[in-house]
């Protein structure tokens, strides 16, 4: 009998796939010490993950000065987005309280990640969410974390209340002042800016115009380079603290979970503290500003009802800034003007105003059914692009009817020479 010999091949041992690992860190205060702690955590986890065999480093997601009860943290949400995209297999975080103090948020997030096959490791509690008893332990510990958050919030409220009773403000950020040792101290150059705003407002200038002028002059409202807005001007004009007095607890925190601030309309006590710091605006001037605000508000309310919208309302769009055009009646004619140009000036949008007569003429040229025009794009060079509901686009160029703009440089020079001759009493001769 012939022997039969067969080759036996053992199955190849599959190498374990490398885990894609990231870390999440958070500090709930913007103080330098806390930010240093955050930097240290980022460095720690970066080194830890990169030195671990079988792990692929996928970054460290972090949030600064954000409470753990809120789920709309930028770094936190970006981590979840990457998890959903399959970029991460495991998340490492220091503790449950760093991840989330809201029990509902914590469990919903963990369960979502668990369904995606993503493990979350909490170092301090030594809990892995993919383990058998992981979720049970998380439920218990998360409840403790949420209660801790509530306790911290109550303690903070107590400290704030004690400060209010002593006439000490909680927040020291305000244009014109800096908080030093629990007291507002004047910053001279900022204080003068505040005085200017009150002076111009009481002189008849509106909030829009004041904001536009300050922006044109390149003056920054804060240390962070923001632009001036009418709302910023209104806030300064209403700020009672500029009188050297304080009205404390005008707003309060609705919930330790949402951290939403709501106006105090009698739910809690208010505290009035007189002479707590040096005044920038005299009390009588501040009161005059409040009366003027009320007067202008009432005047606005007493205006007749707005007229029905016109055909071009919402249809004309500026190609430069994207804003829609507004109807404006001048002494000479009715024009349509870019919203940005109208409120902020030529510096922010140099688009041209379009006479309504010109618009009507062009519409008659391009269609017998004006209602089929979905939008009109106003571009450079007096060009209008008419977009129709069927997808077609018709372009027309309109001639500027302004005599001054239609003159050539030669025509302008001749006019100048003619005017000079007339002033001298000389007879003008055409060249």
Same domain for 126 and 28?
Answer: yes
In this predicted structure, what is the pLDDT of residue 68? 41
Q: Which of 301, 328, 354 is the last residue of a domain?
A: 301
222 located within any domain: yes
Q: Which of 301, 332, 348 is the last residue of a domain?
A: 301
| Integer Cα distance of 235 and 419 in angstroms | 51
| Integer Cα distance of 357 and 163 in angstroms | 64
Per-residue pLDDT band at 308 (split at 50, 70, 90): low
141 located within any domain: yes
Same domain for 45 and 141?
Answer: yes
Same domain for 333 and 295?
Answer: no
Same domain for 246 and 206?
Answer: yes
Same domain for 189 and 282?
Answer: yes
Number of H helices, E strands in the chain: 13, 18
Same domain for 183 and 118?
Answer: no
Report pLDDT digits (tens) over 181-216: 777 888 899 999 999 999 999 999 999 899 889 988
Our count of domains for the chain comes to: 4
6 located within any domain: no
CB 80 within 8 A of CB 110: no
φ/ψ bin of 352: left (φ > 0), alpha (ψ from -120 to 50), beta (otherwise): beta
The sign of the torsion formed by the CA atoms of 346, 351, 353, 356 equals negative
Same domain for 396 and 412?
Answer: no
Same domain for 124 and 203?
Answer: no
63 located within any domain: yes
C-beta atoms surrounding 186 within 10 Å = 16
Same domain for 181 and 284?
Answer: yes
Residue 48 confidence (pLDDT) above 80:
yes
Query: Residue 62, exposed/middle/buried by CB under 10 A (0-12, 13-18, 19+)?
Result: buried
381 located within any domain: yes
Report pLDDT digits (tens) over 61-98: 988 755 444 456 888 899 999 999 999 999 999 887 77
Same domain for 142 and 262?
Answer: no
4 located within any domain: no
Same domain for 356 and 242?
Answer: no
Domain boundaries, position 228: 177-301
Same domain for 293 and 376?
Answer: no
367 located within any domain: yes
Residue 229 confidence (pLDDT) above 60:
yes
In this predicted structure, what is the pLDDT of residue 32? 46
Domain of 291, CATH number, reads 3.90.1750.20
Q: Helices in 166-245 by DSSP H: which ranges?
A: 188-202, 207-216, 230-238
Q: Which of 267, 301, 335 is the last residue of a domain?
A: 301
């Amino acid at each position: 009998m012939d022997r039969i010999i067969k080759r036996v091949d053992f199955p190849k041992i599959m190498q374990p796939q490398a885990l894609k690992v990231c870390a999440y860190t958070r500090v709930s205060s913007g103080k330098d010490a806390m930010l240093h702690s955050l930097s240290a955590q980022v460095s720690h986890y970066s080194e830890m993950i990169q030195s671990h065999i079988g792990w692929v480093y996928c970054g460290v997601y972090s949030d600064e000065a954000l409470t753990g009860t809120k789920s709309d943290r930028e770094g936190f949400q970006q981590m979840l987005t990457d998890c959903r995209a399959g970029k991460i297999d495991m998340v490492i975080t220091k503790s449950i309280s760093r991840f989330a103090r809201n029990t509902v948020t914590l469990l919903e997030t963990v369960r979502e990640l668990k369904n995606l096959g993503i493990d979350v490791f909490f170092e301090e509690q030594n809990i892995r969410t993919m383990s058998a008893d992981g979720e049970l332990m998380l439920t218990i510990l998360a409840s403790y974390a949420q209660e801790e958050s509530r306790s911290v919030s109550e303690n903070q409220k107590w400290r704030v209340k004690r400060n209010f009773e002593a006439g000490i403000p909680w927040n020291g950020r305000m244009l014109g002042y800096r908080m030093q040792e629990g007291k507002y101290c004047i910053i001279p150059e900022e204080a003068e800016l505040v005085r200017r705003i009150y002076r111009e407002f009481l002189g008849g200038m509106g909030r829009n115009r004041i904001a536009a002028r300050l922006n044109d002059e390149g003056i920054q409202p804060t240390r962070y380079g923001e632009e001036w807005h009418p709302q910023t001007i209104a806030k300064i004009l209403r700020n009672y603290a500029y009188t050297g007095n304080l009205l404390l607890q005008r707003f309060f925190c609705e919930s330790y979970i949402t951290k939403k601030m709501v106006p105090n309309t009698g739910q809690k006590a208010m505290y009035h503290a007189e002479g707590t710091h040096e005044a920038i605006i005299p009390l009588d001037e501040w009161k005059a500003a409040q009366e003027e605000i009320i007067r202008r508000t009432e005047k606005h309310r007493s205006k007749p009802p707005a007229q029905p919208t016109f055909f071009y309302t919402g249809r004309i769009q500026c190609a430069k800034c994207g804003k829609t055009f507004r109807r404006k009646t001048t002494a000479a004619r009715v024009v349509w003007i870019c919203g940005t140009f109208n409120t902020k000036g030529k510096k922010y949008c140099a688009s041209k105003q379009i006479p309504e007569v010109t618009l009507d003429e062009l519409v008659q040229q391009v269609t017998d059914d004006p209602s089929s025009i979905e939008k009109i794009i106003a571009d450079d060079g007096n060009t209008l692009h008419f977009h129709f509901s069927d997808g077609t686009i018709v372009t027309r160029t309109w001639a500027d009817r302004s005599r001054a703009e239609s003159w050539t440089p030669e025509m302008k020079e001749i006019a100048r020479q003619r005017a000079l001759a007339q002033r001298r009493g000389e007879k003008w001769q055409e060249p």
